Amino acid sequence: MSKLILVRHGQSIWNLENRFTGWYDVELSENGILEAQKAGELLKAENINIDHAYTSYLKRADNTLKIILKNMSLKNMNIIKSWEFNERHYGSLTGLNKAEMKEKLGENQIKIYRRSWDIAPPELEKNNDFNPRSDKIYNNIDSRFIPNTESLKDTYDRVIPYFDLNIKTKIIDGKNIIIAAHGNSLRALCKKLFNISNDKINELEIPTGNPLVINLDAGLKVLNAVYLDGNRKQKLIINQ
């Protein structure tokens, strides 16, 4: 049996400001730091041995993972960063206030952009200040792989191949894995692991900074899954 621990990064500054963030690189808020610290404390109390740690290219996820590992007394553990675990790219919505855009475009349209399976927001212009193509953290990525917008399906199509190629065999070998990533990249992974339909995936919410511990057998069948912070848990959808 293997434990796969999924943690959405702690609250970011733009989460606090209710802005669409996507691939833009923002810091954790003070509350987000506290959430990451608590996540580490909860995991340490479970006495879980971590064999491999993964995160995205974005510092809100990377710093969340570093805080968690520090609080688990695992400061020297190697962290593998993958752009495939980045948040979904929100296109031209990046940087905009969610409430203001809901008023401008209508609640239904924003719900489609945020929660539909295969509909992406309009593309972000290349000269936009929030375009990740100008961020040096992506200098080693082929520009063809940097999107201008994404649907959840697009996110799924980069997360799952990476997971299958780099993490699946470790789970089969019984290793324990932690992934600190983002709401939509983790929703994409949960869609695969929990066998959630295209129609139902919009119902899955991932809380910030709350470790989801998934026990998997060697065939990647979910034996059970639980959020460690019961006061902040969200409903899980498991169809196995």
Q: What is the pLDDT of residues 189-208, one digit of tens each?
A: 999 999 999 999 999 999 99
Q: What percent of the chain has pLDDT over 90?
A: 91
User: Looking at residue 123, what is its pLDDT?
Assistant: 96
User: Looking at residue 70, what is its pLDDT?
Assistant: 96
Measured between alpha carbons, how far apart are the two ends of the chain, in Å? 16
CATH number reported for the structural domain that contains residue 33 in this entry: 3.40.50.1240
Which phi and psi angles does 146 have, rounded to 5°?
Answer: -90, 115
pLDDT at 109 over 70: yes
Asked whether residue 185 is domain-assigned, the answer is yes
Asked whether residue 49 is domain-assigned, the answer is yes
On whether the CB atoms of residues 94 and 123 are closer than 8 A, the answer is: no
Asked whether residue 66 is domain-assigned, the answer is yes
CA angle, 122 as apex, 11 and 181 as ends, to 5°?
Answer: 30
Average pLDDT over residues 106-115: 92
Q: How far apart are CA 15 and CA 98, in angstroms?
A: 10
CB atoms within 10 A of CB 77: 16
3-state helix, strand, coil in the chain (%, to 5): 40, 15, 45
Computed over its alpha carbons, how large is the radius of gyration of the chain? Answer: 17
Q: Has 87 been annotated as catalytic?
A: yes
Beta bridge partners of 227: 212
- H or E segment at 213? strand 212-216
On whether the CB atoms of residues 216 and 1 are closer than 8 A, the answer is: yes
Asked whether residue 237 is domain-assigned, the answer is no
Range of the domain at 56: 2-88+150-232
On whether the CB atoms of residues 84 and 55 are closer than 8 A, the answer is: no
Reported residue count of the chain is: 240
- Looking up tokens 């691939």, which residue turns up? 23
For the whole model, what pTM was predicted?
A: 0.96
Q: How far apart are CA 37 and CA 203, in angstroms?
A: 28
Q: What percent of the chain has pLDDT over 70?
A: 100
Asked whether residue 179 is domain-assigned, the answer is yes
Q: Has 9 been annotated as catalytic?
A: yes
Q: Residue 5 carries which side chain, given as an amino acid letter? A: I
Asked whether residue 154 is domain-assigned, the answer is yes
Asked whether residue 124 is domain-assigned, the answer is no
Q: Residue 108 carries which side chain, given as an amino acid letter? A: N
State whether residue 179 is helix, strand or coil: strand
Exactly one of 30, 41, 84, 87 is catalytic; name it.
87
Query: pLDDT tens digits, residue range 44-53?
Result: 999 999 999 9
Beta bridge partners of 52: 177
HSE-up of 83 (CA within 13 Å, CB side)?
Answer: 19
User: Looking at residue 240, what is its pLDDT?
Assistant: 63
Domain count, the chain: 1
Asked whether residue 140 is domain-assigned, the answer is no
CA 173 vs. chain centroid, Å, equals: 24
